[in-house]
């Protein structure tokens, strides 16, 4: 599961500040939403299902975009390093 | 009661290679003839002026000129709806063309612009400077546009050392053909063709800032000698001087071209005491506050001209006054940065 | 509850740069309809990719160009440059608007004849006219614009065989202060070649010298160069008058007017900086009017501008095949539009807009075509809204050259549709099929069989 670093938060406007390294980011509404879910500790399946209910998107597309987004979060060092991840 | 104008100002990048915005605003805030509300127009979220709330009342992001005048106009219309702009003073070289193009449309909205005409703007471009000199009988360095490396062998009139200049920016001084070729390749890769080969004038550099009313009259002219130059070639300190020749040259420049708006002349005085015009910047320079400080408030006069008021030419200024620039650290909360970055307004 | 429009999630690092001189390009408004026809419907009906031509835009642009010249000069004639776009439907719109035909090969010449253009109203340019081409053109009283001396001698020889007197002009090249100088076509003005050719024509007594022609370059960003060129042609014409008491009928200023596209590397968009028809018209007509022609003896002014008349009327519609991230994290989007269809992407930063609404979030994206070739790049750097797979894009201002210089390479050439002024789309060129392609091929008998 993807865990967001505890001291990172996103504002309603999609502005994200990482106090650990001073970088700032901007997220679009879908990104902000996913980030919020991850922050709440929701699983991929939960996030996907709520997107399926609310947005015009299919499973495959969402999964691909989600993976790409999470990869970017990792690349930007906004997630906890997952020890179990192989 | 004094009139109050809402004035949009760009060039809020008060950094080590500063835009003129903050200096212009200081002039406007000290104006005796009117009060102002200053609307900052910024391209980037870290332009210091955005956060200088005692200078700038409110700032809006505007799109880069390279996105086209349509988008710029749309954004300015939005800003106008919020702020009822009376006037915009653009201060960036790269945006002047767009604002000149938009001046009619802005005028229709009730927003005044006081800039040179497109013809004046184009004539003084670096690659047109020789024709400009000929037409108005002003000394300019000999120069020649060059389109191919081989043409560097055909510069009969220009001797080493000379300057290899990009169409808009960049310049190197070269002493032989090998250096010239290397500079040609480097600069053309960045700025395209043509490359301008310009005679190197030995001498002392001077600057004049001033204001023309568009009818041939000099409203203001203040000569300055740079005293300290940063590694980027910008004046960090300078002193106002009295030089009759320079003022006469400025009068000639203005009356011949009927220059409209603020400007800066970059001059070189050679050993025969002749002044050459190296460059004409078609806008107010960043050191304009020196002019304000010695008694010629160019930004104020420019606003009055733009608003159609009668403006009497300045007749005197204090000689021997210096400007010394300094850097200053502001403390800003990230909330403000967030606001300008995400909403585009602060 | 209605579902919200999905847009792929994006996180963008805020770059805290000082204003740099090169801002990024954003193309903000979606292009959902072309002349009131939904892009989506066009693609459903005619496939993707798809070239779409707006008849209304052609006619409007033509009217603008015509007005620019006719309000400044008494006698003006346009000739449609076939090579720019020789789809018959498009040529005929120009012919309906009164344009003659300007062709540069035997095949284009015959195309113009078949479109129903009177031979007298066809201008034949170019360095490669075969003897048969020349014979046919002489027979039809077409206007032959001579490019080199060998051609001049051939025409004199053909004229010697009795029959009609060929109507000729020479193409003149000259220094107009722009770079590069196009001195490979025609006869040079400054070094006397042009006079040499004119003397040969006049002394032969076998040809009728009707005009003078020049074509100073392509995508000209300076209107002033045309003024220099027009002045020099006027000087030549007046010189002929003086020397031979012969009046030429027309001055043909060729084409080369820039369209509103943005050249790669340009800082400002072409829509803001490129000269307008009025700029070009002012430069050319004032040079002619201010020359020593008597006011009632001004020659006919012919214009062969192609690009500036058709570029804006052409769109290329495409579809997103995939979004992909490069090894360095850079976002890329693969479209079904390749450089094989859009030759002009080598020199323009074409405007590309999504065909559906989007939010203001953008990402810097490389746009690739579908070819397995590294050069297949439509835009190196476009700040684009977030496109989903299967969504459509519209590439703007592709009307000039793409529908003639396109290549059958890896993919087949797609349909071309013209939308008429009543918003009805018409198929004007059918897409290629494997059959159409293979109908040209012959396989020798011994190569027909193999075992694998």
Domains and CATH numbers, chain C: 33-52+312-434 (2.40.37.10), 126-303 (3.20.20.10)
Residue-by-residue DSSP string for B200-235: PPPSEEEEEEEEEESSS-EEEEEEEEEEEE-TTS-E
Where does residue C78 fall: left (phi above 0), alpha (psi -120 to 50 degrees), or beta otherwise?
beta
Tokens of C408: 């059958």
**Terminal alpha carbon distance of chain B:** 29
| Contact across the interface for C7 and A30, Cβ inside 8 Å | yes
d(CA B203, CA C419): 66
Q: Does any CB of chain A come closer than 8 Å to the CB of residue C3?
A: yes
CA distance C270 to chain B (A): 9
- Using a CB-CB distance cutoff of 8 angstroms, which residues of chain C are in contact with residue B98? 268, 272
The count of CB pairs under 8 A between chains A and C is: 73
pLDDT digits (tens, 9 = 90+) for C197-222: 999 999 999 999 999 999 998 888 88
Domains of chain B: 3-114+329-342 (3.40.50.20), 142-199 (3.30.1490.20)
Tokens of B129: 């400077």
CA distance B333 to chain A (A): 12
- Using a CB-CB distance cutoff of 8 angstroms, which residues of chain A are in contact with residue C386? 28
d(CA C326, CA A77): 19
| Contact across the interface for A76 and C11, Cβ inside 8 Å | yes
User: Given pLDDT bands bounded at 50, 70 and 90, which one contains residue C246?
Assistant: very high
pLDDT of residue A80: 85
Question: By CB neighbour count within 10 A (0-12 exposed, 13-18 middle, 19+ buried), where does A44 fall?
Answer: middle
| Contact across the interface for A13 and B338, Cβ inside 8 Å | yes
| Contact across the interface for C26 and B70, Cβ inside 8 Å | no
| Cα C275 from chain centroid (whole Å) | 16
d(CA C383, CA A45): 32
Nearest to C286 by CA among C80, C68, C99: C68
E-assigned strands of chain B? 3-9, 34-42, 58-61, 87-89, 112-113, 143-146, 162-165, 171-174, 195-199, 204-213, 218-229, 235-240, 260-269, 275-281, 322-324
Nearest to C171 by CA among C186, C192, C158, C157: C186
Give the position of tokens 């059959």. C435
- ipTM of this model? 0.86
Query: Is the pLDDT assigned to residue C295 strictly greater than 50?
Result: yes
CA distance B321 to chain A (A): 42
pLDDT digits (tens, 9 = 90+) for B297-344: 999 999 999 999 999 999 999 999 999 998 889 999 988 988 888 788
Give the position of tokens 């990719």. C49
Nearest to B116 by CA among B303, B257, B300, B313: B257
| Cα C179 from chain centroid (whole Å) | 20
pLDDT of residue B238: 94
Query: Is the pLDDT assigned to residue C183 strictly greater than 90?
Result: no
Nearest to C64 by CA among C235, C276, C340: C276
Calculate mean pLDDT across residues C436-444: 94
More confident residue, B260 or C357: B260
Query: Is the pLDDT assigned to residue C23 strictly greater than 50?
Result: no
User: Given pLDDT bands bounded at 50, 70 and 90, which one contains residue C19?
Assistant: very low
Long-range contacts formed by B224-232: CB under 8 A, 24+ apart: B224/B287, B224/B290, B227/B322, B228/B324, B230/B16, B230/B17, B232/B16, B232/B17
pLDDT digits (tens, 9 = 90+) for A31-82: 999 999 999 999 999 999 999 999 988 898 899 899 989 998 998 889 987 6
Task: For chain A, list residues whose CB is within 8 angstroms of any CB belonging to chain C.
Answer: 16, 23-31, 33-35, 51, 53-57, 61-62, 65-66, 68-69, 71-73, 75-76
Q: Does any CB of chain A come closer than 8 Å to the CB of residue C52?
A: no
Nearest residue of chain C to residue B65 (CA atoms):
C268
- Using a CB-CB distance cutoff of 8 angstroms, which residues of chain A are in contact with residue B332? none
| Contact across the interface for A13 and B337, Cβ inside 8 Å | no
| Contact across the interface for B343 and A14, Cβ inside 8 Å | no
More confident residue, C134 or C359: C134
Element (H, E) at C118: none
CA-angle at B225, arms to B221 and B227, nearest 5°? 145
| Contact across the interface for C272 and B67, Cβ inside 8 Å | no
Q: Does any CB of chain A come closer than 8 Å to the CB of residue B341?
A: yes
Q: Does any CB of chain A come closer than 8 Å to the CB of residue B44?
A: no
d(CA B13, CA B22): 8
| Contact across the interface for B334 and A24, Cβ inside 8 Å | yes
pLDDT digits (tens, 9 = 90+) for B20-79: 999 999 999 999 999 999 999 998 888 999 999 999 999 999 988 878 888 899 999 999
- Using a CB-CB distance cutoff of 8 angstroms, which residues of chain B are in contact with residue C273? 97
Best B68, B344, B345 residue to mutate vs chain C (most C CBs within 10 Å): B68
CA distance C433 to chain A (A): 32
Query: What's the full length of chain B, in residues?
Result: 346
Decide if C242 contacts C233 (C-beta within 8 A). no
| Contact across the interface for B341 and A26, Cβ inside 8 Å | yes
Query: Is the pLDDT assigned to residue C441 strictly greater than 50?
Result: yes
Best A28, A38, A79 residue to mutate vs chain C (most C CBs within 10 Å): A28
- Using a CB-CB distance cutoff of 8 angstroms, which residues of chain B are in contact with residue C16? 44-46
β-strands C100-103, C122-124: how paired?
A: parallel
The count of CB pairs under 8 A between chains B and C is: 63
d(CA C320, CA C394): 11
């Amino acid at each position: 599961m993807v865990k967001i670093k505890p001291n990172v938060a996103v504002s309603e406007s999609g502005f994200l500040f990482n106090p650990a390294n001073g970088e700032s980011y901007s997220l679009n509404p879908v990104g902000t939403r996913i980030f919020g879910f991850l922050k709440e500790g929701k699983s991929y399946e939960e996030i996907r299902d709520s997107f399926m209910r609310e947005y015009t998107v299919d499973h495959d597309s969402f999964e691909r975009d989600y993976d790409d987004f999470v990869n970017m979060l990792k690349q930007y060092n906004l997630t906890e390093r997952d020890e179990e991840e192989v | 009661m004094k009139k109050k104008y809402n004035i949009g100002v760009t060039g809020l990048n008060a950094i080590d290679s500063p835009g003129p915005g903050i200096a212009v605003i200081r002039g406007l805030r000290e104006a005796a003839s009117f009060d102002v509300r200053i609307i900052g127009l910024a391209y980037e979220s870290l332009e210091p002026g955005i956060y200088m709330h005692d200078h700038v009342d409110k700032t809006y992001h505007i799109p880069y000129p390279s996105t086209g005048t349509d988008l710029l106009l749309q954004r300015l219309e939005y800003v106008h709806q919020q702020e009822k702009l009376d006037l915009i003073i653009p201060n960036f070289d790269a945006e002047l063309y767009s604002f000149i193009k938009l001046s009619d449309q802005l005028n229709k909205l009730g927003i005044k612009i006081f800039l040179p005409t497109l013809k004046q703007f184009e004539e003084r471009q670096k690659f047109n400077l020789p024709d400009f000199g000929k037409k108005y009988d002003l000394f300019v360095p000999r120069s020649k546009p060059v389109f191919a490396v081989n043409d560097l062998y055909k510069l009969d009139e220009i001797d080493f050392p000379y300057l290899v200049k990009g169409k808009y920016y960049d310049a190197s001084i070269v002493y032989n053909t090998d250096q010239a070729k290397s500079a040609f390749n480097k600069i053309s890769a960045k700025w395209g063709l043509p490359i301008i080969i310009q005679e190197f004038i030995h001498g002392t550099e001077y600057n004049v800032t001033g204001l023309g009313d568009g009818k041939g009259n000099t409203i203001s002219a203040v000569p300055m000698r740079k005293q300290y130059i940063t590694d980027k070639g910008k004046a960090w300190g300078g002193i106002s001087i009295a030089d009759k020749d320079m003022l006469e040259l400025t009068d000639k420049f203005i009356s011949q071209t009927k220059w409209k708006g603020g400007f800066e002349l970059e001059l070189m005085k050679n050993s025969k005491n002749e002044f050459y015009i190296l460059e004409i910047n078609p806008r107010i320079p960043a050191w304009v506050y020196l002019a304000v400080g010695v008694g010629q408030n160019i930004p104020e006069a420019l606003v009055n001209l733009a608003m159609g008021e009668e403006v009497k030419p300045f007749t005197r200024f204090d000689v021997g006054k210096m400007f010394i620039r300094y850097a200053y650290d502001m403390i800003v909360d990230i909330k403000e940065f967030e606001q300008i970055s995400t909403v585009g307004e602060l | 509850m209605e579902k919200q429009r999905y847009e792929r999630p994006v996180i963008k690092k805020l770059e805290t740069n000082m204003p740099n001189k090169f801002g990024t390009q954003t193309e903000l408004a979606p292009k959902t309809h072309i002349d009131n026809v939904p892009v989506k419907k066009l693609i459903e009906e005619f496939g993707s990719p798809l070239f779409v031509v707006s008849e209304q835009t052609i006619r409007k642009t033509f009217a603008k160009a015509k007005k620019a010249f006719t309000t400044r000069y008494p006698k003006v004639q346009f000739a449609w440059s076939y090579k720019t776009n020789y789809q018959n439907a498009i040529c005929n719109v120009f012919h309906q608007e009164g344009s003659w035909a300007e062709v540069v090969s035997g095949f284009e010449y015959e195309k113009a004849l078949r479109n129903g253009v009177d031979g007298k109203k066809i201008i034949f340019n170019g360095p490669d006219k075969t003897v048969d081409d020349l014979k046919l053109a002489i027979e039809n009283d077409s206007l032959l614009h001579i490019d080199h001396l060998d051609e001049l001698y051939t025409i004199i020889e053909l004229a010697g065989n009795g029959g009609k007197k060929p109507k000729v002009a020479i193409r003149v090249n000259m220094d107009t202060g722009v770079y590069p100088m196009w001195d490979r076509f025609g006869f040079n003005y400054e070094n006397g070649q042009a006079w040499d050719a004119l003397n040969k024509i006049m002394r032969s007594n076998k040809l009728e010298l009707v005009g003078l022609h020049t074509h100073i370059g392509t995508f000209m960003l300076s209107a002033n160069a045309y003024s220099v060129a027009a002045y020099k042609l006027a000087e030549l014409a007046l010189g002929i008058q003086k020397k031979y008491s012969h009046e030429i009928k027309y001055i043909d200023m060729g084409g080369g007017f820039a369209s509103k596209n943005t050249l790669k590397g340009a800082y400002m968009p072409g829509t803001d900086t490129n000269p307008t028809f009025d700029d070009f018209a002012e430069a050319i007509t004032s040079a002619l009017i201010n020359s020593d022609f008597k006011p009632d003896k001004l020659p006919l002014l012919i214009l062969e501008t192609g690009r500036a008349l058709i570029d804006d009327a052409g769109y290329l519609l495409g579809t997103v095949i995939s979004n992909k991230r490069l090894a360095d994290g850079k976002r890329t989007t693969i479209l079904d539009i390749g450089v094989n269809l859009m030759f002009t992407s080598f020199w323009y930063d074409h405007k590309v807009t999504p065909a559906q609404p989007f939010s203001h979030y953008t990402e810097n994206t490389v746009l690739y075509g579908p070819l397995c070739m590294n050069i297949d790049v439509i835009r190196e750097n476009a700040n684009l809204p977030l496109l989903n797979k299967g969504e459509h894009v519209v590439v703007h201002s592709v009307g000039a050259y793409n529908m003639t210089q396109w290549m059958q390479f890896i993919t087949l050439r797609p349909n071309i549709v013209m939308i008429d002024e009543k918003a009805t789309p018409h198929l004007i060129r059918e897409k290629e099929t494997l059959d159409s392609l293979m109908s040209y091929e012959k396989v020798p008998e011994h190569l027909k069989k193999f075992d694998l």
